[in-house]
Amino acid sequence: MSVTIAQVNTMPRAEFIAEFGGIFEHSPWIAERAWESRPFSTWEALHAALTAVMESATAEEQLALLCAHPELGARGLMSELSAAEQAGVFHSGMPERRGFRRYREKFGFPFIFAVKGSSPSDIAFALQIRLDETREAEFQQALREVRRIAWFRLQDKFKEGG
C-alpha cells in the first residue's frame, strides 16, 4: 500500500499500527505509542516520533527490541523487510558466522547493522570493531542501527506514496 503523510495523519490507530508496526522489527508497540504524536508534518517527523518512543522505552523493552532482530545472514525466521534488506547484501558473500555468535554471547543480543548500501566486507569490519566495545556502548550503537533501519524502511514507504 502506498501512503502519503496526509493519509498517515488521518489513519485510525489500528490501521496506523498495521502500516508501521513492522518498521521496528517485530515491535508494533513502537507504532502504537507513536500514533499519539500525530499529526506529523513530514516523514522525518514521523521517524522522530517513532524513535522517541524507542528511546524513551525501558531498558527491558529496548533489549527486547534488539533481540527481535534476526541474526545477520541467518536463514531462520525474519520479517519480509529484513529478508529483503539482507538479500541485497549477502548474495555476494557472508561474514563469518562465528563472529556473530561471539557477539551475541558477549552482548546478549544479535549484531545489528543497517545493511542498506553496505558490502559484506563493511559488515565484517564493523563486527570486528564492535566486538571490542563495552556492553553499554554497543547497546547504544545497536539502537542507533535500529534507528537507521527504521529510517530506510520509512524511506521505502514514502517513495511509494509521495
* Residue among 119, 71, 78 at smallest CA distance from 98: 71
Mean pLDDT for the stretch of residues 77-103:
63
pLDDT reading at 109 higher than 80: yes
Q: What mean pLDDT, rounded, does the chain reach?
A: 88
| Ordered structural domains, the chain, with CATH | 5-161 (1.10.3330.10)
pLDDT tier, 38 (very low <50, low <70, confident <90, very high otherwise): very high
pLDDT at 157: 83
Q: 10-26: per-residue pLDDT in tens?
A: 999 999 999 999 999 99
From residue 132, alpha-carbon distances to 18, 97, 127 in Å are: 38, 17, 9
More confident residue, 136 or 77: 136
- pTM of the full structure: 0.85
pLDDT reading at 138 higher than 50: yes
pLDDT reading at 108 higher than 60: yes
Give CA–CA dist 34/72, Å, rounded: 27
From residue 83, alpha-carbon distances to 40, 57, 77, 88 in Å are: 29, 26, 9, 9
pLDDT tier, 119 (very low <50, low <70, confident <90, very high otherwise): confident
Which positions are annotated as active-site residues? 69
